[in-house]
């Protein structure tokens, strides 16, 4: 377990790196001898990420472009959790492993009328993250599929897609700055799925509006894949608004409502929207040009509130079944994530997040995969007052098309107490190394 003094050294070193990076940026800006010539070009092999186009003819009457798309994200974790007090007593769990986080393959087809068909599948037999490649059918489950285009001033997207609620979940995993999204974001939206639905976007008065209607539930195939809509599903609806506060900052408001009144899910059903009846998020995205080679300092913030959650079971080993979170619970949280380009390729990222109530989510959840005998394999407790602090470096070899990542996250929380249980506290360290690529 990392000590407080070690954390102090870590943050002091981070501050020194930021100051040093700022100093270097200043030296580049005052160099008036064609500083653009000092910018590094991507290696020649980066062109391979532009080779996905299988067919292109802008004069064709129907199909103008066919493009192959995909991504692979692999990462190594060293995660440990220490529990103290309460029903489980003083217990430690931990795990070291390589995880095939995402492996996807699909295609985009662009038509002459400006519309596009898109689809991506989870491939390599990965039904859920952490499984080995080749453990099942090659095309395992559907990730996204649909049509998008414009009708006049209205941009439409029809199909299985991401409901873009909160800043972290709205950002594609291809561009995400950290290994995993925050506990509060996973709690209210990201750990569910991508529902089938329709969204329409339009702009008026300097504000971009997006309305959405969703099927919030899907049928689950026996192997855990499937993801096709249940026609008797509960419904959901969403609204997002985006406007510029300044030249450097955009303001975002996100809302999702879900008709979670149908009771608990069966083994054949999967929730694809939020487990909360209402989710609100107010966030900002800011960036400031550092004056050289597209380097920038950025800041992402989010205030998030989830209202009226479905009831959820907990890890029975915490309080002998008293770790259940009852129906009607609310949760709220915050995410603050600054990032700074130390060089053209090297990016420093820090993140603080808080969740008032949350299940144990990534990356710490995998510490339970090989716990001691008194823990159920894969079991996860419910938590309260969840604080996490992350610091990491991203080295962009070919931009986000190919990058190496390294990060550390510290967690501290209370184990959720229900029915008079006293379940103690938990702290944890997670070290991560990974590679991310897409085309």
Q: Closest Cα to residue 236, out of 199, 269, 191?
A: 199
φ, ψ dihedrals at 437, nearest 5°: -150, 150
3-state secondary structure of 245: coil
The pLDDT score that the predictor gives to residue 219 is 66
Question: Counting beta carbons within 10 angstroms of the beta carbon of residue 236, is it exposed (0 to 12), middle (13 to 18) or buried (19 or more)?
Answer: buried
Q: What is the sign of the dihedral through the CA atoms of 352, 355, 361 and 364?
A: positive
In total, the chain counts a number of residues equal to 439
Report how far residue 388's alpha carbon sits from residue 180's, in angstroms, rounded to the nearest whole number.
12
Are 244 and 252 in contact, with CB atoms under 8 Å apart?
no
The pLDDT score that the predictor gives to residue 374 is 46
Instruction: Provide CB contacts within 8 A for 307, sequence distance 6+.
Output: 276, 277, 278, 279, 280, 330
Residue 329, CA distances (Å) to 188, 256, 277, 281, 296 in order? 12, 17, 10, 17, 40
The pLDDT score that the predictor gives to residue 232 is 61
Letter string b/e over residues 363-385, b meaning 16 or more CB atoms within 10 A of that residue's CB: bbbbbbbebeeebeeebbbbbbe
Q: Give kind and range of the element (H or E) at residue 193.
A: none
The pLDDT score that the predictor gives to residue 105 is 95
Say how far residue 199 (Cα) sits from the centre of its chain: 20
- Mean per-residue pLDDT pooled into runs of 10, the chain (439 residues): 41 39 38 57 92 92 95 94 78 86 94 95 65 60 93 95 96 96 95 90 96 83 56 83 97 93 57 90 97 94 95 67 81 98 97 96 79 52 94 97 98 84 86 97
The pLDDT score that the predictor gives to residue 225 is 52
The pLDDT score that the predictor gives to residue 22 is 37
The pLDDT score that the predictor gives to residue 260 is 73
The pLDDT score that the predictor gives to residue 94 is 85
Instruction: Provide CB contacts within 8 A for 296, sequence distance 6+.
Output: 287, 288, 289, 290, 341
The pLDDT score that the predictor gives to residue 88 is 60
Q: Which CATH number applies to 4-53+69-100+138-438?
A: 2.40.160
The pLDDT score that the predictor gives to residue 325 is 83
């Amino acid at each position: 377990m990392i000590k407080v003094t070690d954390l102090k050294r870590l943050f002091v070193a981070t501050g020194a790196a930021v100051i040093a990076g700022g100093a270097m940026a200043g030296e580049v800006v005052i160099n008036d001898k064609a500083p653009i010539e000092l910018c590094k070009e991507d290696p020649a092999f980066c062109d391979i990420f532009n080779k996905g186009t299988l067919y292109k003819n802008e004069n064709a009457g129907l199909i103008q472009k066919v493009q192959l798309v995909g991504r692979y994200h692999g990462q190594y974790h060293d995660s440990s959790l220490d529990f103290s007090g309460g029903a489980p007593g003083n217990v430690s769990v931990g795990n070291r492993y390589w995880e095939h986080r995402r492996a996807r393959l699909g295609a985009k087809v662009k038509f002459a009328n400006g519309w596009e068909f898109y689809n991506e599948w989870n491939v390599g037999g990965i039904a859920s993250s952490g499984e080995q490649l080749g453990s099942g059918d090659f095309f395992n489950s559907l990730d996204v599929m649909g049509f998008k285009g414009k009708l006049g001033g209205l941009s439409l997207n029809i199909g299985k897609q991401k409901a873009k609620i909160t800043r972290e979940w709205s950002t594609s995993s291809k561009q995400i700055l950290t290994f995993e999204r925050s506990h509060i974001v996973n709690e209210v939206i990201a750990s569910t799925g991508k529902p089938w639905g329709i969204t329409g976007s339009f702009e008026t008065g300097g504000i971009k509006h997006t309305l959405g209607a969703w099927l919030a539930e899907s049928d689950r195939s026996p192997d855990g894949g499937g993801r096709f809509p249940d026609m008797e599903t509960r419904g959901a609806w969403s609204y997002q608004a985006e406007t510029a506060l300044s030249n450097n900052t955009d303001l975002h408001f996100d809302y999702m409502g879900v008709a979670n009144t149908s009771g608990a899910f069966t083994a054949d059903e999967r929730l694809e929207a939020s487990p909360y009846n209402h989710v609100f998020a107010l966030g900002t995205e800011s960036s400031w040009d550092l004056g050289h080679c597209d380097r920038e300092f950025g800041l992402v913030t989010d205030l998030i509130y989830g209202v009226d959650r479905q009831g959820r079971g907990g890890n029975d080993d915490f309080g002998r079944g008293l770790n259940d979170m009852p129906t009607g619970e609310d949760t709220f949280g915050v995410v603050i994530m600054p990032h700074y380009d130390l060089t053209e390729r090297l990016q420093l990222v820090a993140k603080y997040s808080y969740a008032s109530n949350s299940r144990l989510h990534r990356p710490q959840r995998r510490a339970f995969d090989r716990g001691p005998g008194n823990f159920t394999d894969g079991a996860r407790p419910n938590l309260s007052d969840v604080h996490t602090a992350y610091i990491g470096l991203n080295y962009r070899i070919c931009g986000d098309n190919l990058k190496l990542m390294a990060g550390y996250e510290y967690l501290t929380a209370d184990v959720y107490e229900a029915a008079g249980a006293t379940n103690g506290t938990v702290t944890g360290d997670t070290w991560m190394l990974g590679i991310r690529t897409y085309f």
